Structure 1
Amino acid sequence: MLFHVRMDVQLPADLDPGERDALLAREKAYSQELQLDGRWPHLWRIAGEYANISIFDVASNDELHELLSGLPLFPHMRIHVTPLAHHPSDIHD
């Protein structure tokens, strides 16, 4: 199942710089693991915002929820999920 996911990050302004760096390093490692195993095939930054648009390819809504809630930045995110379906005019299978 494919999902379009927008993630907007809002880190606390008073977050300790060392804690921030460690949090971002964990986030990067976790997201790269999911990209390498194919469940997060597309990740784009939204220019001018601390946000991204991603495509996830997972087996179920529950799996997507588990992956998203496992993101180290999850407590600091606003997430919008849109399930995707094949378009009949698409020339790609």
Structure 2
Amino acid sequence: MLFMVQMQVNIPASLDKNIADALKKEEKEMSQKLQREGKWRDLWRVVGQYANVSIFNVSGNEELHQLLISLPLYPYMTVSVTPLTQHPSAIAQVE
């Protein structure tokens, strides 16, 4: 199943810089691993914000939920999830 996930990251200014930097490094490593696996299909930055819009290709709600809550920055995120389905006018077929 495909999902559009919007993530807004809000790391508190009071969080120790070394801890924040370590979390960001872990987040990058995990996101790239999931991209290589094909689960995190697309990752787009929202200009001017510490936010992204992503497309995930996972088996369903539970897999997506477990994946999102395992992200290192999840405790500092506001997340919005929208399930997607193929549009009948789309030329490209979704796998």
Moved segments of 4+, more than 3 Å: none
Match status 1:7 vs 2:7: yes
Offset of 1:12 from its aligned partner? 0.8
Find the aligned partners of 1:80 and 1:17 in 2 and give their Cα distance: 27
Residue deviations 1:31-84, cap 9 Å, x none?
A: 111001000010000000010000000001000000000000000000000000
Structure 2 equivalent of residue 69 of structure 1: 69
**Which residue pairs with 1:57 in the alignment?**
57
Distance of 1:91 and 1:18 partners within structure 2 = 47
**d(CA) in 2 for partners of 1:33, 1:26:** 11
2:31 partner amino acid: S
User: 2:38 — aligned with what?
Assistant: 38
In structure 1, how many angstroms separate the alpha carbons of the residues matched to 2:20 and 2:9? 13
What residue ranges of structure 2 are gaps of 5+ in the alignment? none
- RMSD over aligned CA atoms reads 0.5
Deviation at 1:92?
1.2
Identity over the aligned pairs, expressed in percent? Answer: 55
TM-score scaled by structure 2? Answer: 0.96
TM-score between the two structures when normalised by the length of structure 1? 0.98
Amino acid of the structure 1 residue aligned with 2:44:
W
Secondary structure at the residue paired with 1:54? Answer: strand
Residue in structure 1 matched with residue 82 of structure 2 by the alignment: 82
1:6 CA displacement: 0.2
